[in-house]
């Protein structure tokens, strides 16, 4: 049969049909296995990964918002956002629990690992909730020590959060790798598609690189450049918001931050100008007051001189008429003026006319005696005139002694003495 053309053709056709049938059967089985693996991925692995990602994202946002709330306790919107992010994390955790508790006989090991990981995430969420509640309680109670302790616990939780995220990524990666291995093993007969797959993978990789460049790398580079310009003092710097995802939120936050900084800088400049004007006004008023004080002091000096005049009435005689009440300060001025007058005129007599002095008490009498003693040291003598009856009666009643003074009834009597 093989020797004939018909036999060879028949054998070739039979073998071709057999191979085609086997290939079809294997392809059907491969499709079924692929469907099973794909079902496991879509119904368990991928939802678990997405739920884990949502859990991590919302919990990280909750940590960020609670830090903002600690800096600005009066921001009610931030408090609401903390509660919303915590509720979203709790919802993602509930999804994880549902997926982890669903039995899968074909992937029992993965099921056990997911269940353990979900329990760890649940415990981590409970600890994070307590820490966030502690921060809220410390902020509301105005207890910075409690807030600081709670943030220390949050920092520890964030370190554990990184390890838990890495473990989640490792589990998802292992599940994906296992599925990929199974798919490759069941599709080895379709090797003609391998080059096409590599080409597709290459294109996908290039597309992914392009997407990463456009969606993540380029915006981050723009943010870094903007940050450097802001650090250099350009607070008008803004970046374009390229998306509505986390990168977009970061860009919007950067723009809000620079706008706030610019507003605060403008406020500081205005306050500085206001303070400068106020300081100039204060300095101007201080200068005016200094000038007024100098004028007042000069006027007081003039008044003091006029209140104790020293009048020469002869070559060797000076008269000091005193009017009004005397006190220690005025007695000192009388003594200074008298001694200076005697020094200038070389007078031998100084007549103190106290006709206009209503009362002479002990300090005033002692001041007059001290004046007489000082005048004697300059080689002159003091004559006291014009002692009023009331003053004389007060001197006697008080037991005062004016033995060191020569008294006369009036000015005329003292001049001719």
* Pair of tokens at residue 382: 């003091």
State yes or no: pLDDT of 12 exceeds 60. Answer: no
SS3 (DSSP) at 324 = coil
pLDDT for 46:
77
- The CATH code of domain 308-416 reads 3.30.750.24
Calculated CA dihedral for residues 90, 95, 98, 102, nearest 10 degrees:
-150
As a whole-number percent, the residues of the chain with pLDDT over 90 amount to 5
pLDDT for 4:
42
Span 203-215, average pLDDT? 76
Q: Which residue would you say has higher pLDDT here, 24 or 209?
A: 209
CB distance 356 to 322 below 8 Å: yes
Task: List, for residues 41-73, the tens digit of each pLDDT value.
Answer: 677 677 777 777 777 777 777 777 777 766 766
Domain ranges of the chain: 5-186, 308-416
Task: List, for residues 220-272, the tens digit of each pLDDT value.
Answer: 888 888 888 888 877 777 888 887 877 788 888 888 888 888 888 888 888 98
The pTM assigned to this predicted structure is 0.37
Written as one string, the DSSP assignment of 259-287 is HHHHHHHHHHHHHHHHHHHHHHHHHHHHH
Say which CATH architecture domain 5-186 belongs to. Answer: Up-down Bundle (1.20)
Span 297-314, average pLDDT? 66
State yes or no: pLDDT of 279 exceeds 80. Answer: yes
pLDDT band at 118 (very low <50, low <70, confident <90, very high): confident
């Amino acid at each position: 049969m093989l020797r004939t053309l018909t036999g060879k053709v028949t054998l070739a056709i039979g073998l071709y049909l057999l191979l085609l049938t086997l290939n079809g059967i294997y392809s059907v089985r491969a499709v079924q296995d692929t469907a099973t693996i794909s079902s496991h991925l879509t119904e368990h692995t991928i939802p678990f990964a997405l739920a884990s990602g949502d859990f991590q994202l919302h919990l990280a946002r909750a940590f960020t918002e609670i830090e903002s709330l600690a800096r600005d306790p009066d921001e009610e919107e931030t408090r609401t956002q903390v509660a919303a992010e915590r509720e979203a994390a709790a919802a993602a955790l509930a999804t994880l629990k549902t997926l982890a508790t669903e039995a899968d006989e074909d992937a029992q090991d993965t099921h056990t690992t997911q269940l353990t990981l979900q329990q760890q995430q649940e415990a981590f969420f409970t600890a994070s909730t307590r820490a966030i509640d502690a921060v809220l309680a410390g902020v509301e109670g105005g207890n910075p020590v409690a807030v600081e302790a709670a943030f220390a616990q949050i920092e520890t939780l964030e370190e554990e959060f990184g390890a838990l995220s890495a473990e989640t990524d490792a589990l998802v990666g292992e599940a994906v790798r296992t599925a990929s291995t199974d798919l490759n093993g069941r599709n080895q007969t379709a090797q003609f598609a391998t080059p096409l797959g590599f080409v597709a993978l290459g294109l996908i990789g290039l597309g992914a690189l392009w997407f990463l460049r456009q969606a993540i790398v380029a915006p981050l580079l723009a943010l870094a450049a903007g940050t450097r310009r802001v650090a250099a003092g350009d607070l008008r710097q803004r970046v374009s918001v390229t998306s509505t995802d986390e990168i977009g939120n970061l860009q919007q936050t950067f723009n809000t931050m620079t706008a706030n900084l610019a507003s605060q800088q403008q406020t500081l400049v205005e306050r500085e100008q206001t303070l400068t004007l106020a300081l100039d006004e204060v300095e101007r008023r201080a200068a005016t007051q200094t000038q007024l004080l100098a004028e007042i002091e000069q006027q007081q000096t003039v008044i003091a001189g006029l209140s104790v005049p020293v009048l020469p009435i002869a070559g060797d005689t000076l008269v000091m008429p005193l009017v009004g009440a005397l006190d220690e300060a005025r007695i000192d001025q009388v003594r200074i003026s008298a001694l200076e007058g005697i020094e200038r005129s070389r007078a031998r007599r100084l007549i103190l006319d106290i006709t206009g002095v209503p009362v002479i008490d002990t300090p005033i009498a002692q001041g007059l005696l001290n004046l007489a003693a000082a005048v004697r040291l300059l080689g002159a003598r003091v004559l006291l005139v014009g002692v009023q009856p009331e003053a004389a009666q007060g001197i006697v009643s008080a037991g005062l002694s004016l033995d060191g003074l020569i008294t006369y009834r009036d000015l005329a009597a003292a001049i001719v003495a």
